[in-house]
């Protein structure tokens, strides 16, 4: 969470709040009220619920406490759209969200407007710094749900046997990326975690020292073609490539390919995307997505490499601009990565001849976008970690068990939302996220 020095002026916050709220509506524009009802897996939520819950967050943690005279839009919404804040209010079982045909979408949209007017009023006044911090948290929270609503829509449309597309097919180049190379990084005693300038979540704090041995990261993500070779080589049938729990998951779930790949293993194989069904051939050069940690780990073992730790990844990303195939680029589908243009002459040399002398600081590869990258680090609190006080302390801290770290954002992540210290986390079996593979060695 941001420290006091990070509070932006009201005008900036107002703009950021409005832009974010407007983008959420823009993202659901292709969807019908019926589409917004679907909850196609236990991990997912209906889009309508996302629209309401992000609004509930501002109402519950900002307006109720900080806007004098604020009148709740509807008393039931205070618990109906609570996700998991046990200390705030009771909440319905997650699976029941699929039954929320009432309130209708029109009422949810009025709810959004009502709360937005409240935030506007608050921002026009001399708002409490804590209120501003909470609004900023709410904006970041809504950005997370922007990503989630797209992720959930992909799953919902995949569950529909008709396989509708969220957006029409686009004509972007597919191409074939360069050979995968590794860029070396020096280790040493490094700082990890957020430095306090600008917004961050509580789980990025405190900044602390970590010791890193020298390492190297792949210049780009593993592609669909490369992953298809793993499959063809019996990747899903060879227990020696898998963690024990991963092998159990393969057996129990019958995994034979990433999620959204057709069962057909022939050359006519297809992948389902937010732009509809695509042939694997057309996607060969794009990063493989929707793999679990177990699949990422097995692939790395098969390839003779490993996954990076979160600190290796963070140290490499620290001074790299957040650029890549993120939400703003409008693809909404992973596309082939061409890392070399990002490199200068020294870097190119390092990549082409790793043994050559090099200036490690200037050597880097593109680390952002397309797919979240599974790290070999478990999601745990940093030394001295303290959750936010009150109900907001449930935001992140209570999930520090049984999950693995992912870094780097995906093609459905807002660029403004992430940073080098940003920690995403999911259970190692998770596949419905845009999650892919960055190799390390």
Q: How far apart are CA 61 and CA 17, in angstroms?
A: 15
Per rule CB under 8 A, is residue 346 in the interface with a copy of itself?
no
What does the alpha-carbon distance between residue 48 and residue 394 come to, in Å, rounded to a whole number?
A: 23
137/132 Cα distance (integer angstroms): 9
> At 310, phi and psi to the nearest 5?
-70, -30
**CB-based contacts of 389, cutoff 8 Å, min separation 6:** none
DSSP per-residue codes, 28-72 = HTT--TTGGG---STT---HHHHHHHHHHHHIIIIIHHHSTT---
Q: Which of 72, 109, 346, 400 binds a copy of itself (CB under 8 A)?
A: 400
Q: Is 182 an interacting residue with respect to a copy of itself (CB under 8 A)?
A: no
Q: Residue written as tokens 């493989």?
A: 288
Alpha helices in 233-344 (DSSP H): 244-253, 280-283, 293-302, 310-317
CB of 51 to a copy of itself, least distance (A): 13
Cβ 324 to a copy of itself shortest distance, Å: 27
The single-letter DSSP state of residue 159 is: H
Closest CA to 257 of 240, 234, 285, 274: 234
Over the window 375 to 394, marking each residue x when it contacts a copy of itself by CB under 8 A and - when it does not, the resulting string is -xxx-xx-xx---------x
Indicate which single residue of 299, 428, 436, 437 sits in contact with a copy of itself (rule: CB under 8 A).
428
Tell me the backbone φ, ψ of residue 120, rounded to 5 degrees: -60, -45
Site for a copy of itself contains 246 (CB under 8 A)? yes
Of the residues 28, 37, 131, 317, which one makes contact with a copy of itself according to CB under 8 A: 37
- Stretch near a copy of itself under the rule CB under 8 A, chosen from 22-30, 84-92, 128-136, 334-342: 84-92
If the CB atoms of residues 172 and 186 are measured against a copy of itself, the closer one turns out to be: 186
**Shortest distance in whole angstroms from residue 206 CB to a copy of itself:** 9
**CB nearer to a copy of itself: pick between 12 and 245:** 245
CB 111 to a copy of itself: min, Å: 14
Of the residues 129, 164, 321, 330, which one makes contact with a copy of itself according to CB under 8 A: 164
| Position among 208, 251, 264, 361 found at the interface with a copy of itself (CB under 8 A) | 208
Select the residue interacting with a copy of itself from 5, 87, 179, 252 (CB under 8 A): 87
**Cβ-contact 337, 292 below 8 angstroms:** no
The widest CA-to-CA distance across the chain, in whole angstroms, is 67
Contact call for residue 162 and a copy of itself (CB under 8 A): yes
Residues comprising the chain, all counted:
441
Residues in contact with a copy of itself by the rule CB under 8 A: 32-40, 48, 76, 79-80, 84, 86-87, 92, 96, 98-105, 156, 159-162, 164, 189, 208-211, 213, 239-240, 242-247, 293-294, 297, 309, 376-378, 380-381, 383-384, 394, 398-402, 428
């Amino acid at each position: 969470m941001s420290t006091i020095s990070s509070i932006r002026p009201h005008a900036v916050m107002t703009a950021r709040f409005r832009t974010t709220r407007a983008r959420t509506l823009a993202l659901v524009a292709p969807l019908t009220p019926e589409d917004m009802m679907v909850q196609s897996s236990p991990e997912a939520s209906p889009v309508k619920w996302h629209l309401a819950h992000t609004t509930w967050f501002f109402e519950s943690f900002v307006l109720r406490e900080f806007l004098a005279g604020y009148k709740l839009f509807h008393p039931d919404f205070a618990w109906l759209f609570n996700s998991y804040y046990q200390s705030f209010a009771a909440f319905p079982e997650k699976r029941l969200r699929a039954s929320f045909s009432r309130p209708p979408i029109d009422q949810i949209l009025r709810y959004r407007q009502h709360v937005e007017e409240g935030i506007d009023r608050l921002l026009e006044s001399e708002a409490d710094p804590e209120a501003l911090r909470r609004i900023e948290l709410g904006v970041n929270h809504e950005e997370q749900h922007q990503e989630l609503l797209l992720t959930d829509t992909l799953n919902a449309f995949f569950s529909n046997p008709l396989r509708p597309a969220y957006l029409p097919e686009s004509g972007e180049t597919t191409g074939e990326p360069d050979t995968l190379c590794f860029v070396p990084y020096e280790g040493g005693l490094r700082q990890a975690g957020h430095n306090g300038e600008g917004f961050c979540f509580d789980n990025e704090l405190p900044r602390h020292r970590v010791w890193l041995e020298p390492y190297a990261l792949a210049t780009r993500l593993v592609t669909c073609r490369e992953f298809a070779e793993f499959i063809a080589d019996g990747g899903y049938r060879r227990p020696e490539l898998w963690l024990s729990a991963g092998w159990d998951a393969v057996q129990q779930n019958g995994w034979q390919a990433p999620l959204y790949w057709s069962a057909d293993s022939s050359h006519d194989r297809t992948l389902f995307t937010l732009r509809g069904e695509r042939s694997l051939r057309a996607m060969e050069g794009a990063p493989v997505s929707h793999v679990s940690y177990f699949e990422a780990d097995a692939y790395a073992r098969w390839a003779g490499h490993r996954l990076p730790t979160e600190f290796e990844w963070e140290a490499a990303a620290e001074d790299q601009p957040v650029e890549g195939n993120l939400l703003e680029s409008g693809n909404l589908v992973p596309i082939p990565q061409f890392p070399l243009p990002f490199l200068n002459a020294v870097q190119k040399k390092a990549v082409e001849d790793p043994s050559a002398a090099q200036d490690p600081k200037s050597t880097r590869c593109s680390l952002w976008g397309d797919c979240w990258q599974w790290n070999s680090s478990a999601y745990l609190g940093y030394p001295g970690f303290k959750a936010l006080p009150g109900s907001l302390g449930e935001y992140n801290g209570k999930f520090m068990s049984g999950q693995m770290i992912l870094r780097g954002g995906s093609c459905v992540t807002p660029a403004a939302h992430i940073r080098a210290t940003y920690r995403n986390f999911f259970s190692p079996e998770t596949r419905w996220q845009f999650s892919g593979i960055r190799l390390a060695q």
